[in-house]
Structure 1
Amino acid sequence: MKAAIFLSTILVLTLFSIPCQVQEYRVGEGDVLKISVYDNPDLEKRVRVSGEGAIVLPLIGEVSVGDLTVSAVTRKITDLLADGYLINPHVSVFVEEFRSKKAIILGEVNRPGLYEISGDITFLELVSKAKGFTKTAGNRAVIKRRLKPGQETPEIIRIDLKDFVERGDTSVNVGVEDGDSIYIKKARLYYVSGEVRNPDAYKWEHTMTIIKAITYASGFTAKASPRNVKIIRRVDGEEKVLLRAKMDEPVLPDDVIVVPESFF
């Protein structure tokens, strides 16, 4: 089925795509940091960030690190140690456990819900954590960012997955931020039933015709009557039947294509 191939292709390409530029991770409540100071093993500490966004270290005491990037935390600790404690200290900060950042993903994924973000993570990596797209997932997704200071309205990012698959546009694989709400839209579908090899629901495309729809359904069976294909379509809330539809007849979303059995 073409829809399944499309979605599988996205997940495979995710493994080989170049990750987009992601803002450096910002430390928050629950994160565990490993602090090391070169040539000062007594100052090495493994600390968890408190609910107030602080950690406690030897010599310098409580340090506020909440919402600072890892490099900013490194600079801050370096400056505090250099202020009367050590000469030219070399500090390294490593995030051992990521616990503070969360994002929600809803819609057409197999396991929608709230997820912890482990460091720098991209949109497609989060989809993978949610066990991938559903069979009926569409090509479009929407990310709503959390409102930031100085903003009147939250940032909205619209993603076209077709750009990623067909043109290799990795810019659609944006970084996920704390507080993001992600929604995967459902595809517009049409249905093929009767004497075809793979009757099923398929993702609709603007250029869809009956012959293309039959091809995606792996073609007619030996019992099919190609001249008597019909389309069941809803028009203004009423069900209409188009008999003896031509092979180049356009297919609309929600159409049901019925291939009858030949009796001759």
Structure 2
Amino acid sequence: MKNIVFLSLFLTFLLSAGSALSAERGYRVGDGDVLKVTVYDHPDLTTTARISSSGTILFPLIGQLQVGGMTGEKVAGKISNYLEDGFIVNPQVYVFVEDFRSNKAIINGQVRKPGLYELSGPTALSELISKAGGLGAEAGDTITIKRKISSQGKEEKLLSVSLKSLMGEGNASLDIPIMDGDSVFVARAGIVYVTGQVTKPNAYTMDEKTSVIKAITMAGGFSELAAKGKVKIIRKVGGSERMLENVSMHMAVLPEDVIVVPESFF
């Protein structure tokens, strides 16, 4: 639980430390966005235009220009190339998004308020989690983002984010920009159950590196009556339960394993 609280505070820090800037660099403009385009030393070309439903804007000297799905940097480069072709020598073009359209993304899984959220401008992963009320008590390390990579939405790619890596490195650039239509899923942490002759029998959050001895340590260690050499694991295999006897203390545990520490009678 302490890790979840710390992670929530860390995500808040990322927001204040510039994760939104990272998102803005990756933001792709589209239908409804309002762009302000300026060309250095050519004030007559300053243009404010809303992107049409077909993804175009009207720009002086050029006419209709397809910009939908491009970043602001790419739009500036495209306009610069057109202007350089017979109009202006070495044009310096700057593009700013003055008003963002209402994009949407879905977040489900281990967040406090899963659902569909509007993205008012560039939105980083941590900001979307914040909109959803923060991480749930059983949030795991893995977040999966399903993203459309074609205009028809028929092709998708999956992005995987490790919250531990994000938190450990403290690098705001790892805070992935959320795009229109993204589906975000925060996985549930694996749970291992420790029972029998331990100090604090209970269910504990685990990861892929959790061993039998680590789980027992999380449960406060062996009691005075524990048969340390006869620890068992009850594991679900193919829909049925299997008993593993006298397991090694260094054996890796799996989600939903039940570690049983029997009592020593000698």
Q: 1:49 maps to what in 2? A: 51
1:207 to 210, 222, 236: 210
CA 50–169 in structure 1, closer or farther in 2 if over 3 Å, else same: closer
Q: Distance in 2 between matches of 1:23 and 1:187?
A: 32
- Per the TM alignment, residue 141 of structure 1 is displaced from its structure 2 partner at its CA by 1.6
- Per the TM alignment, residue 62 of structure 1 is displaced from its structure 2 partner at its CA by 2.5
Percentage of matched positions with identical amino acids = 44
The within-5 A match list for 1:167-206 is 173-189=175-191
**What amino acid is aligned across from residue 162 of structure 1 in structure 2?**
K
Aligned with 2:108: secondary structure?
Answer: strand
CA 138–103 in structure 1, closer or farther in 2 if over 3 Å, else same: same
- Per the TM alignment, residue 129 of structure 1 is displaced from its structure 2 partner at its CA by 3.2
200-209 or 22-31: which moved more?
200-209
The within-5 A match list for 1:14-29 is 14-15=14-15, 16=17, 24-29=26-31
* Kept in 1: contact 2:23–2:178 (CA 8 A): no
1:30 to 26, 29, 32: 32
* Kept in 1: contact 2:144–2:184 (CA 8 A): yes
* Kept in 2: contact 1:27–1:70 (CA 8 A): yes
Runs of 4+ residues deviating >6 angstroms:
17-23, 211-217, 233-239
- Per the TM alignment, residue 94 of structure 1 is displaced from its structure 2 partner at its CA by 0.8
- Per the TM alignment, residue 86 of structure 1 is displaced from its structure 2 partner at its CA by 5.4
Aligned with 2:178: secondary structure?
Answer: coil
Q: Distance in 2 between matches of 1:192 and 1:17?
A: 42
Q: 1:126 maps to what in 2? A: 128
CA 101–165 in structure 1, closer or farther in 2 if over 3 Å, else same: same
Aligned with 2:164: secondary structure?
Answer: helix
Q: Distance in 1 between matches of 2:169 and 2:149?
A: 32
CA 154–214 in structure 1, closer or farther in 2 if over 3 Å, else same: same
Q: Distance in 1 between matches of 2:23 and 2:34?
A: 24
Q: Distance in 1 between matches of 2:37 and 2:173?
A: 34
* Kept in 2: contact 1:145–1:156 (CA 8 A): yes
- Aligned-pair Cα RMSD in Å: 5.1
Q: Distance in 2 between matches of 1:174 and 1:235?
A: 36
Q: With structure 1 as the length reference, what TM-score do the two structures score?
A: 0.63
- Per the TM alignment, residue 77 of structure 1 is displaced from its structure 2 partner at its CA by 2.9
**What amino acid is aligned across from residue 145 of structure 1 in structure 2?**
R
Aligned residues: 255
- Per the TM alignment, residue 124 of structure 1 is displaced from its structure 2 partner at its CA by 2.8
Q: 2:8 maps to what in 1? A: 8
Aligned with 2:7: secondary structure?
Answer: helix
Aligned with 2:97: secondary structure?
Answer: strand
The within-5 A match list for 1:69-218 is 69-81=71-83, 89-99=91-101, 101-117=103-119, 121-148=123-150, 154-166=156-168, 173-189=175-191, 207=210
Deviations 1:77-106 (A, max 9, x none): 344445566566543211112226543322
Q: Distance in 2 between matches of 1:83 and 1:120?
A: 32
**What amino acid is aligned across from residue 2 of structure 1 in structure 2?**
K
Q: Distance in 1 between matches of 2:190 and 2:55?
A: 45
- Per the TM alignment, residue 66 of structure 1 is displaced from its structure 2 partner at its CA by 1.5
List alignment gaps of at least 5 residues for structure 1: 220-224, 228-232, 240-247, 258-264
Greater strand proportion: 2
- Per the TM alignment, residue 137 of structure 1 is displaced from its structure 2 partner at its CA by 0.9
Q: Distance in 1 between matches of 2:174 and 2:76?
A: 31
CA 87–6 in structure 1, closer or farther in 2 if over 3 Å, else same: closer
**What amino acid is aligned across from residue 207 of structure 1 in structure 2?**
T
- Per the TM alignment, residue 29 of structure 1 is displaced from its structure 2 partner at its CA by 0.8
Q: Distance in 1 between matches of 2:174 and 2:56?
A: 35
Q: With structure 2 as the length reference, what TM-score do the two structures score?
A: 0.63
